[in-house]
Structure 1
Amino acid sequence: MLYKSLIKPLLFRMDPEKAHHLIINGLHNASNVPGVKGLLKGLYGVNSTPDLQSELWGIHFDNPIGLAAGLDKNAKAVPGFSRLGFGFMEVGTVTPKPQVGNELPRLFRLPEDQALINRMGFNNVGIETMAKHLAKATHHSIPVAVNIGKNKATPNEHAEDDYRTCINKLYGYGDFFVVNISSPNTPDLRSLQHGDDLYRLLRTVQEEMKAQHNKHGGAVKPILVKIAPDLEPEEIRYMVQTIVESGVSGIIASNTTLSREGLTHMHKGEAGGLSGLPLTKRSTQLIHTLYELTEGKLPIIGSGGIFTAQDAYDKICAGASLVEVYTAFIYEGPALLRNLNEGLRKLLQRDGFKSVTEAVGSTHRHR
């Protein structure tokens, strides 16, 4: 209640990007103060119960609710976020070289639509600085995925070099990795989702992941592909075929959308990717399609418009093993995590599932 009654009104009077930096810097600074980590966990932490726990790719998840990429772009506040009740989190998108991103303003709130539009453009500090941040966050308590991309100046025919460089530098710091080829804010990036470009890219990242595993040892680290929701059925089929044949570990569905259907806010005409409530049904349907095309054999992380436990549950039943939030966290605050987890427990009990893993893909079985 503190967030929605006091903190959110103050943040929403600020420029969205300035508010974003205030949150990240605040969590970063707070996590360095003795006793604050425990306070955050006490106020917002989520009790881990067996029904919400899962094991995927050899990684343990205390609950299925993760933080999507884009909020902690530079892995600056990992310890802080890890105390708020997330089951896992993504950091990034990071590129080999630092880049400033697109011109300001580039982030817009649409409160009436419970949505955000961003055209950030992969603004980040680069792999060298992110490595330093992650090295200081080695005692985080949740799995961390590193979301990787290419620099704007890198042409698509050399894109695989940027992804290889990111893996090479950051392999030792992430629990798993995500190939971002679906942001609408880097020119021509989404074309990497198709044909020979996709095949060549995934072959390269797989080779680099294997090389790094041979170098570092330990458990094999998974690598996932994050795709866009704005795809035609035929495009999805060909993409899934290439992804499956590449041997990657899973898919994240989905990134932001270019659609503006049903929006009412004055910012609806702003260029960029739309996230939030308008994406809920679109991303759930994409998860459903992916699960069918892969016959449930390739794990899916569902992302897009999760505001309630029912939203998360719908994605899980459609085929998502894990889910992610971003926009709802901005609108609802840290209490969202506890609400989602408690709501999921009730929904699982209602439908007779002993664990969240039993519910994954259940819509297809009931059909």
Structure 2
Amino acid sequence: MPDWSYHPLFKSWLTKLPNALGREFIHNGMSLIASSKLGSSFIEFLGHMDPSPKLQKEFLNIHVSNPIGLSGKIDPLMTGTKAFAQLGFGFIEIGPVALQPYRSPASYDSTKQNILFPLKLETLGIEQTILKLKKLQSLGKPIFIRVSPDHSLLEQSEIIKALHPYCDTFIIEDKDEFTSNCLSLIKKAAKEKPLLLSIKQKDVRSSLIKISRYIKDTIVDGIVIEENSVMIGDFQLFETKQVDALLESLIMLRKNEITSVPIIISGGVLEPEDAKSLLSNGADLIILSSGYVVSGPGLPKRVNELLLMDQEDSDKEIVDGWQYYWLFGLCILIGGILALLFSMTRVILPYDEAFLNLSRDQLMMINNRIILFMAHDRMTLAGTMISGGIIYMQLAKHGVRNGVHWARKAINIAGITGFIGILLFIGYGYFDWLHGLFWVILLPFFVIGYKKTTGASHTPLSMNLKNSHSWKRSLWGQLCFVTLGFSFVIGGVVISAIGISSVFVNTDLTYICMTPELMDSINSRLIPLIAHDRAGFGSALISVGLLVLMMALWGFHEGARWIWKTFLIGGIPAFSAGILTHFIIGYTTFIHLLPAYFALALYLLGLYLSKDFLTQKS
């Protein structure tokens, strides 16, 4: 559930469901998808969440792929753990784990954008937790287990002993009655697993001496500064943004020479800049809490991409081979322009006449609307090719050239799909040599580009700091372009299927004023020729739809001006040819043009809603 679907579509009604119903619906649904290899690939395709290898670090001999984790408060029943591991997190917190289960779900205040948690946090109980953890042993992410503070010292030790085989580290919350001897017993139960001491932010100042003693005696291996809570009746509220107070405590610990152990910040992070500020001032890891629910599932990805800005290599090399992808796009652009010129003049080419054993003039004498109908198919194909060529060239120049992995992946997926689509041309019995020659010319550029650009492996950077108005509005724009891309792909599949089966829809026959049987009786090769055009257009539309879809899914980053320009310039040829052509030839049936009007509305709305976010300067 990416941000572009979470905020515009689902959040408003899911948060209105009673108690934890909305939460469990989301978590169970995501985990169901993530439980299969195909589902995992689908999640990755939608979100492209994997963090850059540059963000990897060692934390107490534990390898984390990035410094952002998820609080156990968000998934107390562990129904979404498998999915969260694929949403850009470097580690997952489980708990608080208690001996017995306790069900008292949190509630969401949609008016104030806050989550109210019970005073005693919800927990599965140790038996169910162990059963869940056994199923998650191949999770691939470090697991931090928080032990419930509602137990005695001996009970906490028993919990740690029972959970020891299933986690990487333990978090235990500080108590007034704790002494060095008490924590030593818990440390002994944890054996070689690191023990982290959690302290409320408001108690850090008064606990400095105690913390220093614990660290000196090597009883604890790290400190967790915990977000503060406010009591509201029988519930507690964790403010979504507490970065100033947390930062103050973090700096205080570091200034008091508590530098030999790592420090984790738990909660209080609402926007990417919050996490960056804490990490820049000495925090080792961040655990997202209520702010994750308010900001949306894309928050860890946005933080990860912002952190990469500090590691950007100003002297990074240009990826060799991007020029071949650019030439690949240029060839498609030129091919589209030539196809447009032919479709606006002769329409029927000499090899078409040879296939039909009819001249253009003879076909005009039979029914001039057949020529106009073929011009309509070929003009829309030409416009689609021109748009596709522009997008390929832009992806090559601004994406692959700079080593952006997703741009290369988009070109490869769309390009391979386009090459496979050549098979559709012969689905109804006609394959012209010009199309074959065109693909023979394209293939070397694509293959060389594919082989030479393997170094394009960089994760995109982002300068997005805040949950600004332009960011929130851009999610609607992104949704428009994602829908547009999906619509193009589906439309291309439908058109291709029609092209290799029935060839015509009812409105086509009404415009031509002839039945397929009559056309076939006039010339048995006429329908295969028209089918060849339809299937070719369908194949091109699928490829361009994939390009639009992948740009919308993976390319929306604040300040990515070239993405917005690519959408703008790339869309003009396709929509101009696809809509104006119908008015030129008089094929203006509303129901036939309705999909094109719908697509145009998505295109214009997407441009308008995403402009401020994509085009603002750093």
**Would the TM-score normalized by the shorter structure come out above 0.5?**
yes
Counterpart-to-counterpart distance in 1, 2:204 and 2:126:
34
Counterpart-to-counterpart distance in 1, 2:242 and 2:62:
28
* Deviations 1:73-100 (CA, angstroms, capped at 9, x unpaired): 2433322111111011101111122233
Matches within 5 A, 1:54-69: 54-69=57-72
Relative to the length of structure 1, the TM-score reads 0.77
**Is the 2:227–2:242 Cα contact (8 Å) retained in structure 1?**
no
Partner of 1:249: 221
Counterpart-to-counterpart distance in 1, 2:164 and 2:194:
11
* Deviations 1:201-241 (CA, angstroms, capped at 9, x unpaired): 3111111112xxxxxxxxx32121111122262x2213313
Counterpart-to-counterpart distance in 1, 2:85 and 2:126:
21
**Is the 1:116–1:327 Cα contact (8 Å) retained in structure 2?**
yes
1:337 lines up with 2:309 in the alignment:
no
Counterpart-to-counterpart distance in 2, 1:315 and 1:241:
21
Counterpart-to-counterpart distance in 2, 1:205 and 1:45:
40
Counterpart-to-counterpart distance in 1, 2:193 and 2:115:
32
Task: Return the offset for 1:284.
Answer: 1.8
1:180 lines up with 2:183 in the alignment:
no
**Is the 2:50–2:86 Cα contact (8 Å) retained in structure 1?**
no
* Deviations 1:37-70 (CA, angstroms, capped at 9, x unpaired): 2222332343332431111111111111110121
Task: Return the offset for 1:138.
Answer: 1.1
Partner of 2:184: 203
Q: Cα 1:85–1:349, aligned 2, differ >3 Å: closer, same or farther?
A: same
Task: Return the offset for 1:71.
Answer: 1.6
155, 166, 178: which is aligned to 2:159? 166
Counterpart-to-counterpart distance in 2, 1:141 and 1:339:
21
Counterpart-to-counterpart distance in 2, 1:56 and 1:230:
25
Task: Return the offset for 1:251.
Answer: 1.1
Partner of 1:48: 51
Relative to the length of structure 2, the TM-score reads 0.47
**Is the 1:86–1:337 Cα contact (8 Å) retained in structure 2?**
yes
* SS of corresponding position for 1:147: strand
Matches within 5 A, 1:11-160: 11-101=14-104, 106-109=106-109, 111-112=111-112, 114-151=113-150, 154=151, 159-160=152-153
Q: How many residues in Structure 1 have an aligned counterpart in Structure 2?
A: 311
Counterpart-to-counterpart distance in 2, 1:313 and 1:50:
18
Counterpart-to-counterpart distance in 2, 1:142 and 1:206:
23
Report the residue type matching 1:90 in the other structure. E
Report the residue type matching 2:301 in the other structure. R
Structure number with higher helix proportion? 2
Partner of 1:230: 202
* SS of corresponding position for 1:27: helix
* Deviations 1:145-171 (CA, angstroms, capped at 9, x unpaired): 1111144xx4xxxx1112111111110
Counterpart-to-counterpart distance in 2, 1:272 and 1:228:
17
Greater Cα radius of gyration, structure 1 or 2: 2
Which structure would you say has the larger RCO, counting Cα contacts within 8 Å and 6 or more residues apart?
1
Q: Cα 1:205–1:7, aligned 2, differ >3 Å: closer, same or farther?
A: same
Counterpart-to-counterpart distance in 1, 2:314 and 2:93:
30
Q: Cα 1:222–1:108, aligned 2, differ >3 Å: closer, same or farther?
A: same
Counterpart-to-counterpart distance in 2, 1:208 and 1:338:
36
Question: Aligned residues: percent identity?
Answer: 23
Structure number with higher strand proportion? 1
Matches within 5 A, 1:309-348: 309-348=272-311
Counterpart-to-counterpart distance in 1, 2:57 and 2:149:
32
Which deviates the most, 46-55 or 247-256?
A: 46-55
Q: Cα 1:111–1:300, aligned 2, differ >3 Å: closer, same or farther?
A: farther
Report the residue type matching 1:79 in the other structure. K
* SS of corresponding position for 1:172: helix
Matches within 5 A, 1:280-359: 280-349=243-312
Report the residue type matching 1:178 in the other structure. I
Counterpart-to-counterpart distance in 1, 2:114 and 2:12:
16
Task: Return the offset for 1:324.
Answer: 1.3
**Is the 1:93–1:180 Cα contact (8 Å) retained in structure 2?**
no
Counterpart-to-counterpart distance in 1, 2:40 and 2:181:
43
* Deviations 1:119-154 (CA, angstroms, capped at 9, x unpaired): 251322211111110101111121111111144xx4
* Deviations 1:303-338 (CA, angstroms, capped at 9, x unpaired): 232122211111112211111112122112221121
Partner of 1:361: none
* Deviations 1:263-286 (CA, angstroms, capped at 9, x unpaired): xxxxxx445433243422112212
Q: Cα 1:335–1:206, aligned 2, differ >3 Å: closer, same or farther?
A: same
Q: Which runs of 5+ in 1 are unaligned?
A: 182-191, 211-219, 260-268, 353-367
Q: Which runs of 5+ in 2 are unaligned?
A: 316-618
**Is the 1:198–1:242 Cα contact (8 Å) retained in structure 2?**
no
Report the residue type matching 1:77 in the other structure. G
Q: Cα 1:323–1:278, aligned 2, differ >3 Å: closer, same or farther?
A: closer
**Is the 1:45–1:83 Cα contact (8 Å) retained in structure 2?**
no
* SS of corresponding position for 2:203: coil
Partner of 1:221: 193
Q: Cα 1:198–1:148, aligned 2, differ >3 Å: closer, same or farther?
A: same
Counterpart-to-counterpart distance in 2, 1:44 and 1:16:
28
Q: Cα 1:111–1:238, aligned 2, differ >3 Å: closer, same or farther?
A: farther
Q: Cα 1:270–1:343, aligned 2, differ >3 Å: closer, same or farther?
A: farther
